[in-house]
């Protein structure tokens, strides 16, 4: 069973970024779409005359639909074995590493970072994702002594809900990865 994020955003790949500005879209309930929210024009902080991407912010309807989709997906995600859950961040880490140079350049333009900082942020995010992926091999709970004779208290980690994340502009990828871990996140 494959699960998709309830919401995300990304830019359409542009054939030639010098000729065409990428259009930002939102991934809501597994489908990419535009929004009717307020207009967003992202510019390069180092070169304010350079438009990095354009689009519209998600509105209340998209957010409500994303939360509903994430909540609907939660029981299926909670039923997955830890090993299956660990594969998702491992694959994401591999993808970040494979495209770190390209996406690091995008971070450079979007955030005003140097190329080394942009690539470094993506590589660090991949390391964090691998840490979370390795969690599938760690114990999934703990056993505590009970105050009653002959009993033990068992604590088991399970998904409990949907998380909202607002990532700062300083480290947008790494912060989101730290918050996300293996949870369902609306960003």
Tens-digit pLDDT profile for residues 39-89: 999 999 989 999 999 999 988 888 889 889 989 988 888 888 888 888 988
Which distant-in-sequence residues (6+ apart) come within 8 Å of 69 by Cβ?
Answer: 6, 7, 28, 29, 30
Q: Which domains does the chain have, with CATH numbers?
A: 7-140+155-186 (3.40.605.10)
Least confident of 12-16, 22-26, 42-46, 80-84: 12-16
Confidence at 38, pLDDT banded by 50, 70, 90: very high
How far apart (Å, rounded) are the C-alpha atoms in residues 101 and 111? 15
| Residue 28 contacts residue 69 (beta carbons within 8 Å) | yes
Cβ burial of 53 (10 Å; 0-12, 13-18, 19+) is buried
The 3-state DSSP class for residue 161 equals: coil
pLDDT at 153 over 90: yes
The 3-state DSSP class for residue 160 equals: coil
Which distant-in-sequence residues (6+ apart) come within 8 Å of 170 by Cβ?
Answer: 111
User: pTM of the entire structure?
Assistant: 0.74
pLDDT value of position 27: 86
Partners of residue 16 on adjacent β-strands: none
CB atoms within 10 A of CB 91: 12
């Amino acid at each position: 069973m494959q699960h998709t994020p309830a919401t995300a955003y990304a830019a359409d790949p542009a054939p030639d970024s010098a000729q065409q500005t990428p259009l930002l879209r939102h991934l809501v309930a597994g489908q990419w779409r535009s929004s009717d929210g307020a207009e967003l024009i992202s510019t390069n902080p180092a070169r304010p005359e350079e438009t990095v991407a354009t689009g519209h912010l998600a509105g209340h309807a998209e957010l409500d639909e994303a939360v509903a989709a994430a909540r609907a997906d939660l029981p299926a995600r909670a039923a997955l074995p830890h090993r299956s859950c660990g594969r998702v961040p491992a694959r994401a880490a591999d993808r970040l590493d494979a495209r770190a140079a390209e996406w690091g350049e995008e971070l450079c333009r979007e955030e005003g970072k140097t190329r080394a900082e942009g690539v470094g942020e993506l590589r660090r995010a991949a390391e964090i994702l691998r840490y979370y992926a390795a969690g599938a091999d760690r114990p999934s709970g703990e056993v505590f002594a009970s105050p009653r004779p002959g009993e033990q208290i068992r604590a088991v980690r399970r998904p409990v809900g949907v998380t909202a994340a607002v990532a700062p502009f300083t480290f947008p990828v790494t912060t989101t990865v730290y918050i996300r871990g293996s949870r369902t996140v609306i960003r």
